[in-house]
């Protein structure tokens, strides 16, 4: 999987997880304190950044 | 001859997933805004935007796993995460629900038309209760404005009132008593409230702005 593709998949999964978290909070299932929220977002950002690291293994075309 | 006769033919049509999803999201948000502006529906914006973020995530993950380019979805999703985080922080800090529309709203409810909640995100919310025949029990009314002014008046004579009012920053005027500053939180209750047959409990909150409650 290319780095760009991997980053997109990981970002998508993170958006789903964060969206569920925000949705449950908006529906008053639980309260999300800012002191918890912002560190979680930093962790998510870090995961997203790390997911884009690495060469594009599939970039070598046999015809070039 | 400069063309490569053996160049692979790209037979897969490019599906503009990013454009389709973003266009659909803009339509949904626009329709929600319109319904709210026309006072047809009260849109729970934080829940709606969270649902939109989930849709973007699903579209992004699905498109990327199939090798389809979903331009713009990462940027859109990231922007939405920041917006939702700020809204969540504001809601926790000011304890004012982020619901309702934007603009000026005037309500003159009758007995059957009195709602339990009146919400506005920004603007002025006026609730005139003079047309309400309150029953012989406690009636609860919640009203909130995140940014702007909340006015509740026309409370009929013979109805005992208890007002719980809070303002993060601004001014409160409740039956002539004035408070101004930050983190305002006051309870104003008629002396005969517990003995009265007809009682009205008002929970009024404003983030930044003014509350005014008068007879």
The ipTM estimated for the assembled molecules is 0.81
| pLDDT tens digits along B15-25 | 677 788 888 88
Q: Which of A40-44, B85-89, B90-94 has the highest mean predicted lDDT (pLDDT)?
A: A40-44
Q: Running DSSP on this structure, what letter comes out for residue A57?
A: G
pLDDT (average), residues B166-184: 92
Q: Which residues of A touch B93 (CB under 8 A)?
A: 34
Q: Mutate which of B3, B10, B53, B69 to test chain A, going by most A C-beta atoms within 10 A?
A: B53
Local structure of B27: helix, strand or coil: helix
Report how many Cβ contacts below 8 Å link chain A to chain B: 99
Is residue B94 within 8 Å of residue B168, measured between CB atoms? yes
Q: Could B57 and A37 be called an inter-chain contact, meaning their C-beta atoms sit closer than 8 Å?
A: no
Nearest CA in chain B to A38: B85
Decide: residue B190, CB within 10 A, 0-12 exposed, 13-18 middle, 19+ buried.
middle
Q: Which residues of A touch B65 (CB under 8 A)?
A: 5, 9
Confidence of residue A1 (pLDDT cuts 50, 70, 90): low
The pLDDT value given to residue B110: 86
Confidence of residue B137 (pLDDT cuts 50, 70, 90): very high
Q: Could B57 and A12 be called an inter-chain contact, meaning their C-beta atoms sit closer than 8 Å?
A: yes
Is residue B32 within 8 Å of residue B51, measured between CB atoms? no
At residue B72, does pLDDT exceed 60?
Answer: yes
């Amino acid at each position: 999987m290319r780095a760009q593709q991997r980053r997109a998949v990981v970002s998508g999964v993170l958006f789903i997880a964060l969206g569920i978290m925000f949705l449950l909070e908006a529906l008053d299932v639980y309260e999300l304190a800012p002191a918890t929220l912002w560190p979680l977002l930093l962790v998510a950002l870090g995961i997203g950044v790390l997911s884009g690291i690495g060469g594009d293994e599939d970039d070598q075309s046999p015809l070039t | 001859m400069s063309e490569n006769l053996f160049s692979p033919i790209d037979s897969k049509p490019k599906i503009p997933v990013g454009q389709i999803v973003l266009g659909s999201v803009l339509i949904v948000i626009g329709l929600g805004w319109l319904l709210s502006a026309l006072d047809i529906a009260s849109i729970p914006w934080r829940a709606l935007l969270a649902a939109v973020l989930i849709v973007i995530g699903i579209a992004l993950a699905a498109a990327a796993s199939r090798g389809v380019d979903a331009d713009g979805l990462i940027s859109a999703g990231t922007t939405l995460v920041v917006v939702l985080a700020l809204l969540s922080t504001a809601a926790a800090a000011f304890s004012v629900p982020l619901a309702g529309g934007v603009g000026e709203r005037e309500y003159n409810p009758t007995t059957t038309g009195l709602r339990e909640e009146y919400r506005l995100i920004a603007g002025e919310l006026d609730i005139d209760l003079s047309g309400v025949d309150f029953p012989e029990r406690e009636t609860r009314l919640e009203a909130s404005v995140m940014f702007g002014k909340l006015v509740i008046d026309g409370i009929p004579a013979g109805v005992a009132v208890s007002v719980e009012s809070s303002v993060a920053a601004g001014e409160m005027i409740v039956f002539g008593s004035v408070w101004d500053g930050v983190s305002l939180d006051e309870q104003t209750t008629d002396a005969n409230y517990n003995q009265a047959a007809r009682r009205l409990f008002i929970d009024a909150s404003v983030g930044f702005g003014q509350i005014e409650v008068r007879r």
